[in-house]
Amino acid sequence: MALQIYAYILHKDGAVDDTALEMVAAAGKLDPAASLTAIVVGSKTDAVCNSLTASFKEVWKIDNDAFSYPNSEVIRGVLARIIPKGSAVLVAHDHFGMDLAPGLSIKLDGTYLPDTVGFDGIEGGKLKAVRQEYGGQVSTHVLCDISGGAVITIRAGAFRAVETSGAGGAVVDKTTDALAGGLPGGARRFIEIVQAEVGDVDITKSEILVSVGRGIGEQENIEIIKELAKAVGGDVSCSRPIVDAKWLEKSRQVGTSGLTVKPKVYMALGISGSFQHLGGIKGSPFIVAVNKNPKAPIFQVAEIGVIEDLLEFVPLLTEKINEMK
């Protein structure tokens, strides 16, 4: 029997998340012959479900006010009821996926394969996949027995989104099946979202970002970054370690646990280029990287690279720009 793949679709405020089309690509790499169904859990999701019909053969709609905010405890219980055992479930590896997926694999009695970045084919019920370990410093091939089903989380951006059309998908309302037996997961109750402190600048709207990472060394050195930002007319942003050290506010953090930015120009200064940081950069900005470590992963994604100590390079750059202005 051909593999059945179910892709859990993230959506917000009526719009489908970028990862949805990445799911399509992942599913295609996982098993091109498999049947692919999208699962949409939420409230008032008609628009979302309809937009998915272009890429998915079937879209399962589970629509109820109880799902207006995605509570993974509840959703896990619901999915465990309706997803047939033995299928492969794809979930994005984000804060929701990390909450939902491990437990779901237990409930569905399937194998769990987290944070996958690549698929290398299935042979005899065993899937060969690619993961990373040690903070992304090394990669590993893993063999995953999916004969009894699997829950697989996909790293955002690992599979290039595939724009498809003409899948001619149908929306199937599974709400009643999902809620048969009542609402599960009552032991955890959503209260509210506490918004991050809005800083004085909204970097998600900035066109030019001068971004600083651990390579800056000390808090006082951030002065030179601010000077450069002033010179180019851009805003200062940073990677997570700078915020953890409380050198800049959280509203300046670019990354999967911070903000998503879409600038025209992105200067990565002293940033190594971890995938969590890069995951916050969308669009295709002109990326310039300054780092004294030639092996820094940032040089893989940057267009222009400068191998220098940013503490020496940046003041000179600022000086030059101010001179010609």
How far apart are alpha carbons 116 and 255 in whole angstroms? 18
From the CB of 80, what's the least distance to another protein, in Å? 9
From the CB of 43, what's the least distance to another protein, in Å? 17
From the CB of 315, what's the least distance to another protein, in Å? 6
From the CB of 164, what's the least distance to another protein, in Å? 26
Which is closer to another protein, CB of 17 or CB of 167? Answer: 17
> C-alpha distances in angstroms, 168 versus 33, 165, 265?
17, 8, 39
> C-alpha distances in angstroms, 67 versus 14, 40, 84?
13, 10, 21
Task: With beta carbons less than 8 A apart as the criterion, state whether 80 and 59 touch.
Answer: no
Pairing type for strands 88-92 and 15-16 reads unpaired
Which is closer to another protein, CB of 173 or CB of 309? Answer: 309
Chain centroid to Cα 139, Å, comes to 19
User: 3-class DSSP state for residue 253?
Assistant: strand
Which is closer to another protein, CB of 169 or CB of 273? Answer: 273
Task: With beta carbons less than 8 A apart as the criterion, state whether 219 and 245 touch.
Answer: yes
**Long-range contacts of 99-105, Cβ-Cβ distance < 8 Å, separation of 24 or more:** 99/72, 100/8, 100/72, 100/75, 100/76, 101/151, 101/153, 102/151, 103/72, 103/76, 104/76, 104/79, 104/80, 104/151, 105/150, 105/151
From the CB of 171, what's the least distance to another protein, in Å? 27
Which is closer to another protein, CB of 66 or CB of 112? Answer: 112
86: CB partners within 8 A, 6+ apart: 4, 110, 148, 149
Backbone phi, psi, residue 155, to 5°: -75, 135
Classify residue 281 by its DSSP letter: B
Which is closer to another protein, CB of 51 or CB of 107? Answer: 107
From the CB of 128, what's the least distance to another protein, in Å? 7
Which is closer to another protein, CB of 32 or CB of 294? Answer: 294
Beta bridge partners of 63: 42
Which is closer to another protein, CB of 38 or CB of 91? Answer: 91
Which is closer to another protein, CB of 107 or CB of 161? Answer: 107
Task: With beta carbons less than 8 A apart as the criterion, state whether 143 and 127 touch.
Answer: yes
From the CB of 103, what's the least distance to another protein, in Å? 4
Provide the Cα torsion 94, 96, 99, 105; round to 10°: -80
Sign of CA dihedral 106, 109, 113, 115: negative
Which is closer to another protein, CB of 28 or CB of 185? Answer: 185
From the CB of 107, what's the least distance to another protein, in Å? 6
From the CB of 38, what's the least distance to another protein, in Å? 21
